[in-house]
Structure 1
């Protein structure tokens, strides 16, 4: 059974395994920066027993805005509803926040997931998104 928990710290090797398994090597090239980012985020972690199998990480001011930064599931646990469970848990916690945003790749599978859980393209809300990447 998968358990979702709010955690402030996680085992660094478990985190690196999760990010590497998803090909997110930009994060794992600087493990200390990743662990600092996690320490400064709200983290919803999915566990199968003691094994970290998924993570949703967001930042928020608790009033006007929240930004979902990462959502990852170990590949062997994908397509089992864990990502949806993490997202629904986050959405319940963020229901009174004025705006919830995320930035993701424009891939059909990814777009399909986020629209299925209630997000919409910013352009469809007459909004535009700007970004500046300063990789660490």
Structure 2
């Protein structure tokens, strides 16, 4: 498997919708035009491709100097646990290595927690920080 990683190169609505649907992120695909606008207005989008098939995506928002927020990282179920997510994450961490605050919000499951901790993230429930979120239903 030779995965190719590309930056800011995906506006294929069909492939993006299929990827988000594959990982069951239907809150995004319930409003595809809004998803496409969000991707277009992101600070950075890095995609993973197997030939011409989109298999992964990481999306960053923020100013790129003092803070980045990793909004989405998703990998097609058939490609999970093969290093694609780690490769996407490492590309973002390398690109924004000098940015002091790298933030994300995710579900609390052991495998998810382990993935982010492997990449140097610390949970706010295990340190001196507190995190707040106000989510629109």
TM-score by length of 1: 0.95
Is 1:8–1:38's contact at 8 Å kept on the other side of the alignment? no
SS in 1 for 2:20: helix
Within a 5 Å distance, the mapping from 1:49-64 to structure 2 comes to 49-64=51-66
Q: How many matched pairs?
A: 135
1:12 aligned residue: 13
Identify unmatched segments of 5+ residues in structure 1: none
Query: What's the CA shift string for 1:25-65, capped at 9, x where partnerless?
Result: 00000000000000011100001111110000011202110
Within a 5 Å distance, the mapping from 1:69-80 to structure 2 comes to 69-80=71-82
Within a 5 Å distance, the mapping from 1:24-63 to structure 2 comes to 24-41=25-42, 42-63=44-65
Identify unmatched segments of 5+ residues in structure 2: none
4+ long deviations beyond 3 Å = none
Is 1:16–1:28's contact at 8 Å kept on the other side of the alignment? yes
